[in-house]
């Protein structure tokens, strides 16, 4: 079983919904699958943690992106992003 298969299995066991890598999900569906708020999904889209395509005025997210999001590699990227942001804030405060 590959890491993605393991993640897919664990998510399907928790939600009774399997995330299909080639399926297309709305922001609302992604929010329900990940059990996060709408503002969290928007923040993830804005910072590039989730890649999505805009169709009209709405975003569409591939299942593989949701699976990638819950993988360990994305956690490392999120930590790096947070630490970079924290450093910028600290630097700005120190300049005052």
pLDDT at 23: 92
pLDDT at 64: 87
- Return the domain boundaries, the chain: 3-71
pLDDT at 40: 92
pTM for the model:
0.58
List alpha helices for the chain, DSSP H: 3-15, 27-34, 38-46, 63-69, 72-95
CATH topology of domain 3-71: Arc Repressor Mutant, subunit A (1.10.10)
Q: Which residues pair with 60 in a beta bridge?
A: 26, 53
For the stretch 16-35, pLDDT in tens is: 567 888 899 999 999 999 89
Distance CA 56, CA 71 (A): 29
The mean per-residue pLDDT over the stretch 47-63 comes to 91
């Amino acid at each position: 079983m590959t890491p993605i298969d393991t993640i897919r299995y664990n998510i399907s066991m928790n939600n009774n919904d399997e995330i299909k890598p080639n399926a297309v999900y709305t922001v609302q569906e992604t929010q329900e699958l990940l059990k996060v708020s709408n503002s969290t999904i928007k923040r993830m889209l804005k910072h590039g943690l989730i890649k999505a395509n805009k169709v009209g005025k709405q975003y569409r997210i591939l299942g593989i992106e949701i699976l990638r999001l819950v993988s360990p590699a994305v956690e490392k990227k999120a930590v790096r992003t947070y630490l970079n942001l924290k450093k910028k804030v600290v630097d700005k405060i120190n300049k005052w």
